[in-house]
Amino acid sequence: MTQCTLDATTVANVKTWLEGAYDEDTKAAIRKMQAENPEELNESFYRSLEFGTGGLRGIMGVGTNRMNRYTVGMATQGLANYVKGCFPGEELKAAISHDSRNHSREFAEITANVLAANGFTVYLFDDMRPTPELSFAVRHFKCQTGVMLTASHNPKEYNGYKAYWNDGCQLVPPHDTSVIDEVEKIKSLSDVKWNGGESRIITIGADVDEAFMQEIEKNVLHPECIKQNHDIKIVYTPLHGTGIKLIPTMLERLGFTNVNVVKAQAVPDGNFPTTPSPNPEEHAAMKMAVDLAKDIDADIVFASDPDADRVGVAVKKPNGEWMLLNGNQTMSVLIYYLLKEWKEKGKLTGKEFIVKTIVTSELPADIAKKVGVKVYDVLTGFKWIGAKILEMEGKETFIGGGEESYGYMIGDFVRDKDAVGACSMIAEIAAWAKSQGKTFFDVLVDLYKEYGFYKEGLHNVVRKGKSGAEEIQQMMKDYRENPPKEIDGSPVVCIRDIKTLEEKNMKTGEVTKIDLPSSNVLQFFTANGNKVTVRPSGTEPKIKFYFGVKENLSKKEYFDTTNANLDAKIEALKKSLGLVPSC
């Protein structure tokens, strides 16, 4: 192999690593790639792994473009430099946790060492813990920052690094881009303070678990229903992740006595040996839990992803068939139950609110409006929900919120999506439903009968390379300059442009301002209640089309027929926009 087969940046980076103060195992791995796999060498070194607005995420391995001890340490130094600049003269504190992924503990300890060497008191969990507990710990210990080592539901090859601010929320402007700037200034190992502050690292564990679970207990609305139906059959799988640490214990604390954990997936394992992908959105990941539910005739099934911030739910239909709920359905039931019970218990004062993202179903908003609770729409990404809670702190009370991608939050003691709290509330709803002779599925049907059957869909258009990126931008430009007047035969009555922050009533021509940060997103609302959102992905070479449709549902028996009709409506919207061939 000759060097001419390698990218120039790769050659320079490889030289730096082979001649620098990197460990011998790393250098040996580089030489092995040089001899056997130049393509992999290029992939590993042609650029530096980007510290994005949410932190790091990438394939683990040797190289500047990989997650490893060096890229983690350099990112942490950049984070430390920024935090120190923002809080001059203050006692600096940070909280750190990690999931079950390979190398997560190693990366967490490196992060702790670098922060401690920079003068931080570091609260490091004694073992893996869920992402929401890390968010809680940042606030609990009054830290300026926190770090969660996780790649969420990505395949086993990946790991990641989520950075948090002092409100327990992931970084939002101006901190997100400012931290990126500081990380990019770290050019060599000598820029990093790797050790020297070990005495400032404090191990935490059971005490924080207890404080966190006490907060979740405060969310309970019907303890008598849990007591009455304590033995409902719950099936839960942590998908080899951190959920096993808290979710079964939390359910037991609440009084549930028949929690059946999928044993094969209860063992933490970063290789996720029982599933192709530890993603609770996917049928394959939920299969073992649903199979167990069938065997024991369970009442409810739920799964958490490896860092236990997202939840997948399966419910049993009247015909005995098990159905996986999508994120919009689970969130809608949660919001429906929360608002219904807050109202019945006289807890609503007119100063409460929920939050959802702009690509989430409009059903939670309709539920909230009917009971007089404010709804705030925010940009895609849970950090924007946390930012809205911070903005309204002391003025209005947050009840709950979430997004279509299986993330939910109840109460404001956590500022990121929380599978521990969500699983607890889902179990309570199942117990409450059973006390009325109903199932979780029946609650969903009741919701649809009252507000309409909402259904959502997603279509991705992938366009790779430089020309693909240009094509995506041209598509957005065309939609702005020549927006559709109708979609599938129904007139477009409202256009929301999140880039210009203008909402236009197409009937009257009236334009109103949108109170959001600017983002390259367009939304079209039609006369028959359909909703289409167009959004280029920020991380992948694709443009996303989100669809929302609605029909009346008069009887439970019509559920399957109506569901099929709504799927057909979504396909018709795709054809109307030219996204799929017309027949």
Q: Would residue 152 show up in a list of annotated catalytic residues for this protein?
A: yes
3-state secondary structure 142-194: CCCEEEEECCCCCCCCEEEEEEEECCCCECCCCHHHHHHHHHHCCCCHHHCCC
Q: Residue 354: beta bridge partners?
A: 375, 400
User: Of the residues 152, 332, 405, 576, which is catalytic?
Assistant: 152
By CB atoms closer than 10 A (0-12, 13-18, 19+), residue 321 is exposed
- DSSP states of 548-567 as a string? EEEE----GGGHHHHHHHHH
Give the chain's end-to-end CA distance (angstroms, integer). 52
Measured in residues, the chain has a length of: 583
Q: How many whole angstroms separate alpha carbon 240 and alpha carbon 242?
A: 7
Dist. CA 160–CA 157, nearest whole Å? 11
152-181 core/surface letters (b: 16 or more CB in 10 A; e: else): bbbebbbbbbbbbbbbbbbbbeebbeebbe
CA distance 147 to 140: 14
Q: CB under 8 Å to 207, separation ≥6 — which residues?
A: none
Tokens matching residue 252: 């037991």
**Tokens found for residue 126:** 């004694």
Q: Which long-range contacts (CB under 8 A, 24 or more apart) does 494-499 make?
A: 494/524, 494/525, 495/522, 495/523, 495/524, 495/525, 496/358, 496/522, 496/523, 496/525, 497/521, 497/522, 497/523, 498/358, 498/379, 498/522, 498/523
d(CA 99, CA 91): 28
- 3-state SS, residue 315: strand
Residue 528 in contact with residue 536, Cβ under 8 Å?
A: no
Tokens standing for 305? Answer: 């992803």
Helices (H), 270-373: 283-296, 327-344, 363-370
Which among 138, 557, 519, 119 has a CA at the least distance from the CA of 318? 557
Helices 24-36 and 38-45, packing angle to 10 deg: 130
Question: Within its chain, how far is the Cα of 264 from the centroid?
Answer: 25
Catalytic positions are 152
